[in-house]
Amino acid sequence: MSFSELGLSAELLAAVKKQGYEQATPIQREAVPPILDGRDILASAQTGTGKTAGFTLPLLQRLAAHRPKRRVVRALVLVPTRELAAQVIESVGNYGCNLPLKSAQIFGGVNIRPQISELRSGVDIVVATPGRLLDHVQRNTIDLSSVEVLVLDEADRMLDMGFIRDIRKVLQLLPDRRQNLLFSATFSKDIRSLAASILTTPVEIEVAPRNTTAERVSQLVHPVDKARKRELLSLLIGKGNWRQVLVFTRTKHGANRLAKQLTGDGLGAAAIHGNKSQGARTRALADFKSGKVRVLVATDIAARGLDIDRLPHVVNYELPNVPEDYVHRIGRTARAGQDGHAVSLVCVDEDKLLADIERLLKTRIDKQVVDGFAPDSRIQPEPIQNGRGQRQRPGRNRAGRKQAAGKPASRGGKRGGGARRRTHA
């Protein structure tokens, strides 16, 4: 379906054209018309499905349709991470390039002063992480009493990161009459209850993840001893001449150490995780995107929502503790119709994690021992260390996640085409 059939204005259609999009994605087809109608939305969609445009385009159209005399915050987009805030704000800028709307991004880890002056100069749209937004509320530097549209993007991640109390505080500051759009990759009990307390007769939209276990991502496991993973990784990158590789580690410390070691091996690498300053994260990402840095080593949370065009290789240096994160990780590759390649280096400690992932995917991942790297059968499994700073996600024990994660797997084969919409009366 083309964008022109969705009821979007000429200004927005021109902006979409400028982006080079030809067809609306399933989430865009399903979400744009009801959002334009002012309906609440409960959407199950991951990064990579085109969800940002799915809510940004109709949001911009609604805001542009009537403009108050004084510029006030009329749309609030809450996101879990600074990276996602930056990406949403970029989309708002791209899609809104022909409209007289102003937007600001609000996130922690950077000086608050420039944000204050931006807010003071007047903005229509605020994209914020919950903690810093509340800082502004406390300082009286933001007024949320005129918000007409609230978007919760990656709501499941916000709950994972412990933002629920902050979200509830923000909700109390918003007018009762408003439009609410909630996007989440998964639907746990907590998300359902948040949705029930916020949304009014929402249109429910479900789209199959565009790239997760899709046939476009080739997946491979290399069994290897833990102590030899780094050596194997350097070999794979060098021999395969991989120019752009996103590597996942379980801990921030592990990400730092690996980036250093790879750099020592002559492979330009940078680490990205929650302990890095915003400046360092932005720089690392920009260097990676431009090809200046060949390997980006990331933790799950830092990589969440990263949008890197044509990323060909994802490596699980360590398997994630929760199988669903595997799906998110490999979803970073094979975007926008490209082929992707996901490799996992699995040591004996991780056999159980691999079995959980295969159960979730309902498939076996091919295993291939690399010559010279056959695991030593005498090595016994040891408990997995999750690093000092790593918080146990509240309410997310393994069993709980498995249940929540079962959903995308059952839809895995319907990638791309499978949007379902259900209207709740």
Which tokens in the block code for residue 128?
């914020």
Q: Which ranges constitute the DSSP H helices of 69-175?
A: 82-95, 113-120, 130-138, 155-160, 164-172
Q: Among residues 168, 160, 203, which one has the least CA distance to residue 44?
A: 203
Identify which of residues 183 and 317 has a Cβ nearer to ligand AMP in the complex. 183
Instruction: Detail the DSSP E strand segments found in 1-110.
Output: 41-44, 75-78, 103-106
Question: Shortest approach of ligand AMP to residue 309 CB, angstroms?
Answer: 6
Shortest approach of ligand AMP to residue 333 CB, angstroms? 13
Which three-class secondary structure state does DSSP give residue 53? helix
Instruction: Decide whether 268 or 418 has the Cβ nearer to ligand AMP.
Output: 418
CB of 183 to ligand AMP, least distance (A): 9
Q: Which is nearer to ligand AMP, 87 or 179 (CB)?
A: 87
Q: What share of the chain is helix, strand, coil (3-state, %, to 5)?
A: 40, 15, 40
Residue 399: CB minimum distance to ligand AMP, A: 29
Upper half-sphere CA count for residue 262 (Cβ side, 13 Å): 29
- Report the SS3 class of residue 346: strand
The amino acid that residue 71 corresponds to is: R
- Toward ligand AMP, which CB reaches closer, 53 or 296? 53
The smaller minimum CB distance to ligand AMP, of residues 48 and 96, is found at 48
| Strands ordered across the beta sheet of 313-316 | 269-272, 295-298, 245-248, 313-316, 340-346, 217-223, 366-367
Q: Toward ligand AMP, which CB reaches closer, 62 or 332?
A: 332
- Whether the CB-CB separation of 291 and 330 falls below 8 Å is answered with no
Q: What minimum distance in Å lies between the beta carbon of 81 and ligand AMP?
A: 13
Nearest to ligand AMP of 21, 187 (CB atom): 21
Supply the minimum distance, in Å, between the C-beta of residue 16 and ligand AMP. 7
Determine the straight-line distance between the first and last CA of the chain, rounded to whole angstroms.
27
In this structure, how many other beta carbons lie within 10 angstroms of the beta carbon of residue 403? 11
**What SS3 class is residue 170?**
helix
User: Nearest approach, Cβ of 210 to ligand AMP (angstroms)?
Assistant: 8
Contact 207, 45 (CB under 8 A): yes
Q: Which amino acid is at 24?
A: A
For ligand AMP, give the closer residue by CB, 303 or 354. 303
| CB of residue 3 to ligand AMP, shortest distance in Å | 7
Min separation Cβ 375 and ligand AMP, Å: 37
Is the Cβ of residue 50 or residue 223 nearer to ligand AMP in the bound state? 50
Q: Are 369 and 223 in contact (CB under 8 A)?
A: yes
Residues that bind ligand AMP (CB under 6 A): 21, 23-25, 28, 47-53, 307, 336
